[in-house]
Structure 1
């Protein structure tokens, strides 16, 4: 499996606090059969400042530990969408997912669908491919799953969290993500892990559930094949 969304990088957001915790998260990922991880520290104005120099420094320190675990470690960003999103990526202020054309976009739970549509169009027009993070958190999509289909039709990709599928994030999130899976509207499942205990990685459990309920081919597609297109530029 490949995890395209996690907060394993220490000391830069609300994820891992120390390099020891980051190493612990790497070991958990390895034990679950994860072969590659894209680190996605938050960038959110007024909450997470996204110190790029520190992010890149900590990444370089963590990478040898990932190599020891046999995990291909890459950089990305979880960008809380604002009007300067295109400029932020064009200027190099933050990393795209594994330095590809894909970017991980996050919204507020109360964002209006019209805003999500407009920003998705803007990102695509600028030459990027948006991956909309944890869609189970947005009221405008939960209230009408057809909106997810509309976003995909525009060229966006849809990511849900493993914990949501497993019911760890609540019954509502479980019901909704499984509806999306049943309809074939999920392109990626990621851990969105933040630590070794609280919000830990549960990708293996999720893979087993998805494989059993929706088929191994679909589980492989959204947890290995699609992510490989980002990280390894595979067709």
Structure 2
């Protein structure tokens, strides 16, 4: 498994608080079957932009510490870039250094917020693509505005924009509404990448074993391909900086709710 979204770098954002916590988060990842993990600290949140060179040094230091303590996992650097007006100034052009991109690729993890309007986001994403970036939308199940316009989402995917979801959303960690949304996304086949979005060791962890079991159960129930394997294969393309061409549904399918679900609101 390749974890595409995590906050394992300590002392950078609201993620890991210490070197020891970061190493424990990596141990949790390794125990979950993760071979590669992307460190994606928050960038451009509340106007804060960590220096890319500093982030590179922190990621390299953490990799050395992991190697020295026999944690067999590869750390790749990226960022979770909040999409707003300042993003256009930050990501001016996808140059050779690929600052804030995922693992030195053209891919960049983009975070939408409650304040984001889909029509404005669409223009910004198109501009980023023209500048050479390949956007990946972070945890889109937590962005209900977009799911209210599923045809727009399908249009974005047709233009090459990928969608990442958090593993904890499948287990209900972020609440029943988010779980319902991620199930809808799953049933429509528009989840391309998975990430723990791990922040700490006591909560929002990088332990994704429960989610793996839930995804296996869903694959059997829905008779769909194993998303765990599909997401890993797509993440491997990011590591190779190759274009991912996911299938796009012909239309958006809304699963009908059963009588008791409608009656009791579950």
| TM-score, structure 1 as length reference | 0.92
Give the structure 1 partner of residue 255 of structure 2: none
**Is the alpha carbon distance of 1:91 and 1:228 closer, same or farther for their aligned partners in structure 2, counting shifts above 3 Å?**
closer
Which deviations, in whole Å up to 9, do the C-alpha atoms of 1:51-99 show, x marking residues without a partner? Answer: 3343222212111233331111111011112222422754858331000
Which deviations, in whole Å up to 9, do the C-alpha atoms of 1:20-72 show, x marking residues without a partner? Answer: 11001010001111000110111115353313343222212111233331111
The answer to whether residue 199 in structure 2 is matched with residue 194 in structure 1 is yes
Q: Which structure is higher in helix share?
A: 1
1:101 to 106, 112, 119: 106
Give the structure 1 partner of residue 24 of structure 2: 24
Q: CA deviation at 1:216?
A: 5.2
Cα RMSD over matched residues?
2.0
In 2, distance between residues paired with 1:84 and 1:127? 14
**Is the alpha carbon distance of 1:211 and 1:146 closer, same or farther for their aligned partners in structure 2, counting shifts above 3 Å?**
farther
Q: CA deviation at 1:157?
A: 0.0
Q: Which entry has the higher C-alpha Rg, 1 or 2?
A: 2
Give the structure 2 partner of residue 78 of structure 1: 80
**Is the alpha carbon distance of 1:146 and 1:204 closer, same or farther for their aligned partners in structure 2, counting shifts above 3 Å?**
farther
Structure 1: runs of 5+ lacking an equivalent: none
**Is the alpha carbon distance of 1:107 and 1:88 closer, same or farther for their aligned partners in structure 2, counting shifts above 3 Å?**
farther
Maintained 8 Å contact 2:31/2:207: no
The answer to whether residue 237 in structure 2 is matched with residue 229 in structure 1 is yes
Q: CA deviation at 1:126?
A: 1.4
Q: Map 1:55-66; keep pairs closer than 5 Å.
A: 55-66=55-66
In 2, distance between residues paired with 1:233 and 1:121? 19
Which deviations, in whole Å up to 9, do the C-alpha atoms of 1:184-232 show, x marking residues without a partner? Answer: 010011111001112112422212211221245333101x111111124
Which deviates further from its counterpart, 195-204 or 128-137? Answer: 195-204
Give the structure 1 partner of residue 3 of structure 2: 3
Give the structure 2 partner of residue 116 of structure 1: 121
Which deviates further from its counterpart, 6-15 or 50-59? Answer: 50-59
Helix, strand or coil for the counterpart of 1:49?
coil
Give the structure 1 partner of residue 227 of structure 2: 218
Maintained 8 Å contact 1:145/1:180: no
Helix, strand or coil for the counterpart of 1:110?
coil
Give the structure 2 partner of residue 46 of structure 1: 46
Give the structure 2 partner of residue 168 of structure 1: 173
| TM-score, structure 2 as length reference | 0.81
The answer to whether residue 34 in structure 2 is matched with residue 34 in structure 1 is yes
Q: Map 1:152-167; keep pairs closer than 5 Å.
A: 152-167=157-172
In 2, distance between residues paired with 1:62 and 1:199? 20
Helix, strand or coil for the counterpart of 1:59?
helix
Which deviations, in whole Å up to 9, do the C-alpha atoms of 1:139-178 show, x marking residues without a partner? Answer: 3213233332121111100011111121110101000001
Q: How many residues align?
A: 234
Maintained 8 Å contact 1:192/1:201: yes
